Structure formats: C-alpha cells, structure tokens
C-alpha cells in the first residue's frame, strides 16, 4: 500500500536520539535550546519556544497574547479541530469565517466578523499553502488584533518571500505525518520578546526561577529526544519540501486535463509546501469521491479526506452554536476534497502508479 504519509527518517535521526538516551538527559535540555535557535533562524524570527505538540503551541500562543474569557478569535471552519479547541481551552469564543477556493480563510470576509470582543485572527495555512497574509495583517493592524498563525501544516511555506510563522505569532506541529517530525512536538515563533517570555512561562508551569511560579502554567515542554530528532529533520526540510513540490508539479502536469477533477490552485505570492496534494472530485468526474477512494485503495493507494466534517458541525462543539452561517464554500469543499499521496517517501514508480490509476478513472477533456 502506498501510504498517505510517511516520515523520512534514517540513521541520522536514530543516532541523534541515541545520543540523548546515552546522555541520560531526556527531558527539556540542550537539544531543545539548539532546536529552538535553529527553528527561529529558519523561520526568520527572534524567538522560538518548543512545545509538546501543535495544539499546545496554539494554546500557549493564545495565552501569551492574554486571550481568555469574553474574547473572540476569528478562524476557519475548514481545519483540524485543534485550531478551534485551542481557542476554547483559552476560554475564548471561536468565530468562524468561510474559506475561499484556496481552502484558507476568505480574508475579504474577516472584517465583517470583527466585534468589540475580537482579540485575534487565527489563519490556518491549510495543506501547506499560506493564507492571504497581506490582507489579514492589514485587518489586524486596523483593528488592533493579534495574528496567531496556525502553521501546523506549513513548515517552510512562504508568502511574498517571507516564511509563515513570521507574520504574527506562529504555531507549528511536528506530528508524525507533518512535513518534518519529532513524533509529537510543536513550536511557537515570534519576534516579540514579551510574547516569547510569556509563552515560556505558559509551557513550564509559570516558572521564572525554580519553584517560583509567576502565572498558572502547564507542562507543555518538549523532550530532548524529540528536539534531537527535530534538529536533524529541520536540516532535511528544504530537500523534503522540494521533493513534495516536484511531485505536485508532476500531478499538475499529468492530471490537469481530466474533466471534473479540480487540482489545487497555488495563489499568487505563495510558495506552497504541499503538506497535502488535495484535489476536488466534482460531479462531472464520472465517479463519486468514495468511488475514487475505493478504486485507489484497490490499487494499493491510500487517500485522505481532510476534513469530511467541518468544525461547526462537530458534535463536541455543538454548545458553541458555530453553525450560525451556511459556510457554503467549506461545505462544498468538505464534500469534494480528496488528498492523494505527495510525501517524499514516494518513489518515481509510486508517483506514476498514482497518476495512471487516476487517469484510468477520469475522462480526458
């Protein structure tokens, strides 16, 4: 079976993790500090604060901005539920704005959602494509709002030549399926000294000096084993992302002429890192999305639907009454999207196999 994701790990990660095991210093230590510095340099920010996962990075970033009860945070319904859960953990209310056909928040609709209580905008750079950061930063500036970027799927992606996670406060995930991994792990990135200091307190029980707790904090620390793996993965990231782009380019070239199949559109000024290559199976394709997924499974090709149920229709969030708006584009995308394997673990033969399988289903224009 060709998996939908597969981490690229070799001796280098094994040796790095073994060295930490041999040192006996397993929890947060020198590797975390080294990883933080390397990641901050990569993103082009002053500070990076390592966390236990992407969800805790989002929660810590919100708390570092002082967001809590009575506050509202604007984000999108077409995301992994962690984006919205983190807002709720902070005590704030998520306010959802529909997406456009980039799969990201429709920046032109954000201003209408701003209220007296709005404190932040949380764009999600879904599938590895940056959101419209120029328009989003402008609304944020005009209304005095923080921007907390959910960059959990977009390590290394750029908007107008600038890396995501450097516009506002960035939040990354290093979960096993991501473009780079530490197994579980996360990072908060910022140019703001105060936000960085506060995030450090939040993720470590509010500790300033040992056993002196300044604020209510959490244990959201990263381990040195994870960080050691992360240091190696970060060095590989440009090559891994380049391979993703190359595979995406082949899909673009070879699948572009199939009726009813809409390929991912890279918007101007964006460098997409293709965490997912997500096509839309529309009515004109001739087979339904489920039929395509089943057919590909028979051909030993795994696919994914990210996400079949938008946030506002999740049972766990019902009390928040988020479905106050039709979210027409989100609903359409939730019906149509299908992600096909694009990870760097694919061999050239795998890529050909995926292309041939999809072409054998779709009619040529």
Catalytic residue numbers read: 178
**Euclidean distance between the first and the last CA atom of the chain, given in angstroms as a whole number:** 30
Buried b / exposed e over 163-176, threshold 16 CB at 10 Å, is: bbbbbbbbbbbbbe
> Of residues 5, 28, 55, 118, which one binds ligand PLP by CB under 6 A?
55
> Of residues 64, 121, 152, 247, which one binds ligand PLP by CB under 6 A?
152
> Of residues 71, 150, 224, 336, which one binds ligand PLP by CB under 6 A?
150
* Shortest Å, Cβ 153 to ligand PLP: 5
Distance CA 190, CA 227 (A): 19
Stretch that binds ligand PLP, among 35-43, 78-86, 97-105, 192-200 (CB under 6 A): 78-86
DSSP 262-294: EPPPPPTTEE---SSEEEEE-GGGSS-HHHHHH
Count other C-beta atoms under 10 Å from residue 285's C-beta: 22
CB 27 within 8 A of CB 224: yes
Contact status: 54 vs ligand PLP (CB under 6 A): yes
Contact status: 53 vs ligand PLP (CB under 6 A): yes
For ligand PLP, the closer CB: 59 or 200: 59
For ligand PLP, the closer CB: 55 or 303: 55
Task: Looking at residues 92 to 131 of the shown chain, list those that interact with ligand PLP (rule: CB under 6 A).
Answer: 124
Q: Is 1 helix (H, G, I), strand (E, B) or coil?
A: coil
Residue 221 is given by DSSP the state P
* Shortest Å, Cβ 171 to ligand PLP: 7
Burial of 250 (0-12, 13-18, 19+ CB in 10 A): middle
Contact status: 39 vs ligand PLP (CB under 6 A): no
* Shortest Å, Cβ 294 to ligand PLP: 25
* Shortest Å, Cβ 12 to ligand PLP: 22
CA 66 to each of CA 84, 87, 90: distance values in angstroms, whole numbers, following the listed order = 17, 12, 9
* Shortest Å, Cβ 340 to ligand PLP: 17
CA 59 to each of CA 142, 348, 355: distance values in angstroms, whole numbers, following the listed order = 25, 40, 40
Q: Is 351 helix (H, G, I), strand (E, B) or coil?
A: helix
For ligand PLP, the closer CB: 150 or 158: 150
Task: Looking at residues 160 to 219 of the shown chain, list those that interact with ligand PLP (rule: CB under 6 A).
Answer: 173, 175, 186
Per CB under 6 A, residues contacting ligand PLP are 53-55, 79-80, 82-83, 124, 150, 152-153, 173, 175, 186
């Amino acid at each position: 079976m060709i998996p939908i994701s597969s981490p690229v790990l070799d001796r280098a990660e094994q040796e790095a993790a073994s060295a930490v095991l041999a040192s006996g210093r397993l929890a947060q230590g020198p590797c975390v500090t080294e990883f933080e510095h390397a990641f901050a340099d990569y993103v082009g920010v002053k500070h990076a604060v390592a966390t236990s996962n992407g969800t805790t990075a989002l929660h810590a970033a919100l708390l570092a901005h002082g967001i809590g009860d009575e506050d509202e945070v604007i984000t999108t319904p077409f995301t992994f539920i962690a984006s919205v859960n983190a807002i709720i953990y902070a005590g704030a209310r998520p306010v959802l704005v529909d997406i456009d056909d980039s799969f990201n928040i429709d920046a032109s609709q954000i201003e209408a959602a701003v209220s007296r209580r709005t404190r932040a905008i949380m764009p999600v750079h879904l599938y590895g494509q940056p959101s419209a950061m120029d328009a989003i930063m402008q609304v944020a500036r005009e209304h005095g709002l923080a921007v907390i970027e959910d960059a959990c799927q977009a390590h290394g992606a750029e908007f107008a030549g600038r890396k995501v996670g450097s516009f506002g406060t960035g939040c990354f995930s290093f979960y096993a399926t991501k473009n780079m991994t530490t197994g579980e792990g996360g990072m908060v990135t910022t140019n703001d000294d105060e936000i960085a200091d506060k995030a450090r307190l939040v993720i470590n029980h509010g500790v300033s000096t040992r056993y002196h707790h300044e604020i209510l904090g959490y244990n959201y620390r990263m381990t040195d084993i994870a960080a050691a793996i992360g240091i190696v993965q970060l060095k590989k990231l440009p090559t891994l992302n380049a391979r993703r782009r190359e595979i995406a380019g082949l899909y673009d070239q070879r699948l572009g002429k199939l009726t009813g199949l809409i390929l991912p559109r890279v918007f101007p000024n964006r460098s997409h890192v293709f965490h997912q290559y997500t096509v839309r199976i529309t009515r004109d394709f001739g087979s339904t999305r489920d039929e395509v997924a089943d057919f590909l499974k028979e051909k030993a090709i795994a696919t994914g639907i990210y996400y079949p149920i938008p946030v506002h229709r999740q049972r766990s969030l019902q009390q928040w009454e988020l479905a106050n708006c039709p979210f027409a584009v989100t609903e359409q995308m939730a019906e149509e999207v299908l992600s096909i394997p694009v990870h760097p673990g694919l061999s050239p033969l795998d890529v050909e196999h995926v292309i041939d399988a999809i072409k054998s289903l779709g009619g040529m224009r």
